[in-house]
Structures are given as structure tokens and as C-alpha cells.
Structure 1
Amino acid sequence: MIKGRDLSDLSENDDASYIFELIVSHFNENYLNGKSRHRIQQLWQRPDRLATVELYTLGKCLEKFSDENLAWLKGTIKRIRNEPEKAHGFFTEILYYGFFGLYKSKILPAQKKQPGYDFSVLYPNNTSQLISVKNIDISDYHKQTNARCVRLRRLWINHLKSKRSNLELHISSTTPLTENDFDTIEKTIKHLGATPSSANVKGIQIHTRPIFHSVYDLAPTHTSDIVFVQCPSPDSEKNRYKNRLKDAVANIKKHSNPDNSVSRIIFLRTHVSADYEHISEYAKNITEDPNHGIDAIIFYQPSYVRDHLNNSLLNHLFKIEVSHKLAHQMNGSDWFKVTPPIGAASVNQSNTIIEGGDYSITPSDFIFQEGDIYQLAKKDVDGSLYNYDMGSPAPGIRKHAVFFVNGGYRTFELKSSPKSDNLLII
């Protein structure tokens, strides 16, 4: 969907329309508008700013593919369409090629069905690199816990409707939440009143409080709500990143021969919940021990964040562990350059800050936050109605304006505000 989408401020080159047409030419408009709801189809059919930013990033990466690599790109796009459960990994390969470049040398996609690695580089000094691209997406625990939170929010909204109330629900636990915990929480909130309250049930803190709605009154025609849930992830969640890295090391070693002129590199795109502190020492040990035969590990963690002015932007975290062999091998023969098309590159993980609560948050914590706030528009001195407080004050929270027009209430929302800040293809 190009028509009706805001393409402003994506680049200084004013190339957004061309980039979106490029996506159409590669993926086919009928497929993009299809009903199967694959990742890129979801983005294409969403008009919000986050979807636009993700699609523009993908399009800029597609732009980098030259004629000699179009066959590889077409094959990868075909796999994205035919294997949707693996699509994020294929998108990660396209992103790697689009982000990374060299001043003198070319990054070449591997031959079809080449096991062990996805790209290679031949340097002017006749040394080379083999690059294995891996993607670690959201875990089963996070998926299942998020699904329970969605169900919990539906229950909370129905509870508020029955009480004719508007309240925030905050749930915090010092241990990972289980299915039994959610059953307990649901039973507890069914007995909560219509006024702010606090409860501690089996070590789980449950608080309700009024919704802060600035200068605008909450609309009587809608139920406004916010649900926030926070808990640590289980140890299995933390360890799975090490295990996947271990598997990636074994795979590239299995399918490539050790050679002093060849370096083996792993590019690992991780979910936003990955805590680099849990991986860093393990990664350093791999690159520092010659027996592992891995010369560099590049961690890439994208996240959609807010700055101090509450503006949204992509944060591209890059952490790199490199062996002495790789530094000696390249020896100025060439230099890598990393250029994400939009957003900011960083060497620091984005921080999670929760306002209005005493929360100690780590990157690996599970966090769910969703809410809809319906605000009644104000009347100006000339009788006109206005509401300048629409949009998204925090991830997952959306403010809507309700106007009383011609004897009835009408609701407006900003199409630019995404329902979730989760990334689908980046």
C-alpha cells in the first residue's frame, strides 16, 4: 500500500516512492495485498509509521543488489513467500547484504544450497571470509506469555465495562509467569472493584490506578484502559542465545575447512529481548580460542525506541567480537562499512524505562504494554472542537479523540501510530 501512506522524512534523497515501487517489483502487488498475512504482507497492509520505516529499510537493501546477484535475490524472495515460518531468517540475509559493504571488495552470496555459510568476500591480498547469517527471533515463552497477556487485557476491558470504569492494570512478578500464575491473576481481577487498589497474590504484585489523561476528559462512550505486565524471563530464555550461537559455530565449522587465509564469521541478528551481557563472555571465548576456528561474531539487535522527546526511531545495535587472526589477515587490505538506511547505529542496548512505577528492568525481561485512551475533545471559544493530544505517548499505548458532532460521538485515531512496536522483518 503506497497510496495513503506518509512517505515524508524517510531520507534526504526524496526517494521513498521509488523505493516502495521497487518492493512492488520484487514481491508483486497481488502478493503484498494477499490475505495469507505473511510478515511483509502485514507490514504492507498497515499504514502506520513503523510499518513504513521497516518497508523502506527493506527497499533500500533491495536497491543494493546488482544484476549479478539478482538470481540469488529472486531465490530468497521465493523462499520468503513459500516458507513463511522461516521468512525472518531470509529477510535477515537481505538486511546483512544491504547494511554491510566494503570499499574495494564485493560481498558475494553463496551458491545455491551452500551449507555452512551465506556470503563470502575475497580481499585484494587473496585472503577471504565466509559469513554465516543467523536469526534468533522471539522465543516460545515470550509468544505464549504475550498471548496470555492479550487474553488478560480482553478480560480487563470487559471487567471495566461492567464497572463503568477506566483504570490501568499493572502486574509485576519477581519470577517468570506461568500458566497457573495467569489463571490466578484472572481470578483476582474478576473480584477487583472500580477504584484503585493493590494486591499481592502468591508473590505477584497487582495494582490498579487512574489513567492519566492530561487536560482532556475521558470520553463516556468508550472504555479506556492500560495493561502493563512485567516479569523476568526463565533461564532457558537466556541460555538459548548461547545454544544457538554454539550451533552456528558447529555448522560453519562442519561445512568449511580451516585455513590461515580464510576467516569464518557469524552474523547473529537477535530479538530485542536478548541481553548481551549473558552472551558477551561466551562470544569472546569463542573468538579468542583458536580451537573454535571462528574469527568474528557480529551481534545485531534492532529495536524501535523513543528518544527524550518521545520521537520514535530505529536503534541498530552492533556488538563485534574479533580474533587477532582476522585483524592481522585483513591488515589494511580493505575496510567494512555499515550503513543502515534509516535510524541510528549504536554500540549500546536500548534502555527500558518505566515511568510511574518502581520497576527494575533488564533487557531480557518480558514486558507487555497495551492500552487505548479515548479523550473527549474540547470546545474552543468560537465553538469549534479540537484535540491535540492524539497519538502514542508510550509503546503500545494509543490516544484517540472523541468528538460530539451532529448529535453523536465520532472517534478519530492517527493512522501513523502502530498498535505494537514489535519488528516483523528487521
Structure 2
Amino acid sequence: MNALSVIDDLKRRFPNEPEYIQAVEEVLTSIEDVYNENPEFERYNLIERLCIPDRIFAFRVSWVDDKGKVHNNMGYRVQHNNAIGPYKGGIRFHSSVNLSILKFLAFEQTFKNSLTTLAMGGAKGGSDFSPRGKSDMEVMRFCQAFIQELWRQIGPDTDVPAGDIGVGGREVGYMFGEYKKMAREFTGTFTGKGYEFGGSLIRPEATGYGNVYFLLEMLKTRGLSIEGKRVAISGSGNVATYTAEKLLSLGAKVVSMSDSDGSIYVPDGLSQEQLDYIFKLKNIYRGRIREFAEEYECQYFEGERPWQHVACDIAMPSATQNEIDGDDARALIANGCIAVSEGANMPSTPDAIREFQKARILYAPGKAANAGGVSVSGLEMAQNSQKLSWSAEEVDRKLQDIMTEIHKQCVKYGTEEDGYINYVRGANVAGFMKVARAMMAQGVL
């Protein structure tokens, strides 16, 4: 395989899909040598089969607002690869959603799920519908209309969706209820459900907690502790807030959080009281982070992520894709950052990743560091299949074991001659080899 040739061909066939091409390029350039050591892969044109999704569903979603007006949005489900298990991946409701973003997310999900050691393939779905500013009834009607189009394509052994940006417990509950009605079955077809009807304990916390567990393993490779470290976080949803919660419990200082409107900076670190305020502000009142700045009179950077403005030891981007560019990376390094662990999917641009690796700081890509969420989704699937509920302690212990194992795989495949651990290469090679071997064993499909 010539990675650049494959990428050029994909650019020609799928123009105007920059996020998808970016994700493919990052993986292909890091696995090229390993791929070419296995000539049987090329004989079966495995790389092209792995890059192109198995199937894509696109559909119109019509729904009625509280005033009786009919609205139309686009809905999608990208089923990328099911070589190692049923399709698995979140649903995103956000105005920015398009096919390129969902293809990149489904591609990334395939490798992330492979790293978890659980039997899950990769998928992603969503709509350009935004729940922001909508009433509960409007969100319910949209979710029901969305599932009325999608329900035939999903199922506990076929495709198991979950939440993502704009899709939390409320939205998952509405979609699960409509699926249950349409399919006339009560199965573990969605994860991230309410605990009362099949959800798993610590699922809301899982991505944030898992990211911290992975970070701790990285710090151990350099004999470092998390205690007292200044940590800058972007975002203020579940991933960001539960990352902050776990960090505070371990003695770290969380100096920044954000939303799409701007960022706060608290040089001495958030107190537990202040974090509790953010939890209520975002999860109960659906407020904005600027309200925290007004309440506690801290610095607020309107319309900006924190990276250019904060002094920190560790950065944990937990908002969205491509939020850290090369200039942001250089600013972070200049301000003393020694580690970056990604809570979001592909939040660093290729230029930013090059800067982190050139500086030889610890850098963990999202497909490894934020795999805790889908890992606990996989554990939720296991509980549903057995009609059991595990304790929070048991789920958390399994999550820690999974994140430790993912780190071991990254070290195994990513350690360079000088001892530097290239976590990008490690995660990509480890995830790729498992999927590739499964695809080869199952023939050309």
C-alpha cells in the first residue's frame, strides 16, 4: 500500500469531506509499514474495504414544533465495519452534522471499539437538528420521528446506538421508547439508557473517568503524579464535567472549562462548590458558561477556547473536532503543558499533533483516551443480554482495567527507539490489526 495514493483516490471519490479524509490520513500514514509487512492484506485490497463504510442510510426527518409548524432535518446512520461485533456508535444532534463528520466519527469508532477488547464494530449517526432552545416536547417529537425512519436498521445484534453531542439521557430515552414501540421488543438496542430501564451505572461519567485513567497511565511512564497539576479542560458537557470531577478527587487543579460561546479561566483551580454549580448550570438549567463567570467573577474569553490563554500542565480537550490548531499547540507548550489527553473525537488538527510530538510531550489521541464511554456502553450491552445490573464499583473496576489494557497496547505498538511513546501510532496499529485479522478470516464481504 502507498498511503498517499490511497488518500488521493479517496479525495477524488469523496470530495468535500475534509473531516473524513483527515481521519483516514492520520490512520493510514501511521500503519503503512505494518500493513505492507502483510502482503495478504494488499492481495485482498483490505485497506480500501476498511476505509469505505459498509453502508450509509440518509433520510428526511419531519417533525412539528410547539406552534404546529412543520420542520425538516436530515438524518443519517453510517454503519462502518462489523468485523468484530455489531455496529456500535453514538448519535449526534447538532447543526454542524453532515456526512463527512459522521463518516470520520464512524471510521474512528471502528478502531476505538477494537481497542476496548469488547466485541463491537464501528458506526455513527445523527442529524443537523439542534436540541438547544427546543422544549422537551419538541425534542421528543423529533427523536420519535428520527427513530421511525431508522428503527429497521438497528437492533441488539445488528447496530446499537448511544448518545453523543446533543444526545444525552433525555434523547436516548425518547429514542429507545419509540424503538420499543416500533420493534415491539425490549432489548439492549440503545446504550446510555436510564438506570431504571436497562442503563448502566457510571455510564454518564465513563468517558471523563476513562480519560483520566488513561492520563494516569501516561504520567506513570514518566514517574509523574496528577496531584497538584493544573489541568485545562474544554467543554462543559458530561465528558468535561466528569473529567473535572475525577481530577478534583485526585488532587488536581481544574483551571478552565468552556462551551461554544466562550471559556472561563480560574488560575487557582475550581472548588468542588464551583464544579457543582457548573453541573447544575449545564445539566439542569441548560445555561451557558458565561453565567459561571458572572457568578464567580472570573476571567471569561468570549467566543474562544482556553488554549491560547491558560497556563497549564495538562490539556484535556473535551468539546469537538479540530478545536486545537498548530498555534494553540505551540501556545500550550510555551505555557508549560507536558501532556494532552483527548476527551473529544479528533480535537487536535494534524499540525497540532505534529507540534505535540515534536516537543516530545505526552499526547493521547481520542480513539485511545476517550474510549471509556463506549467501553461502558459495551458493559451495558453485556448487562442487558444477561438481564443483570452491576454495581458502580464493579463497572468502574472493569473500566479501569479496560483503560489500562488500551494503554498497554499503545505502549506495545507505539514505543520508538529512543523510548518515546507515540500513542497515535500505537493506538492505530493495535486497533487496525485486530479488525484486519477479523476481516481476513471472514473473507471478502
Q: Which TM-score applies when normalising by structure 2?
A: 0.26
More strand per residue: 1 or 2?
Answer: 1
Q: Which has the higher contact order (CA 8 A, sep 6+)?
A: 1
Please identify the structure whose Cα radius of gyration is greater. Answer: 1
Q: Which TM-score applies when normalising by structure 1?
A: 0.27
More helix per residue: 1 or 2?
Answer: 2
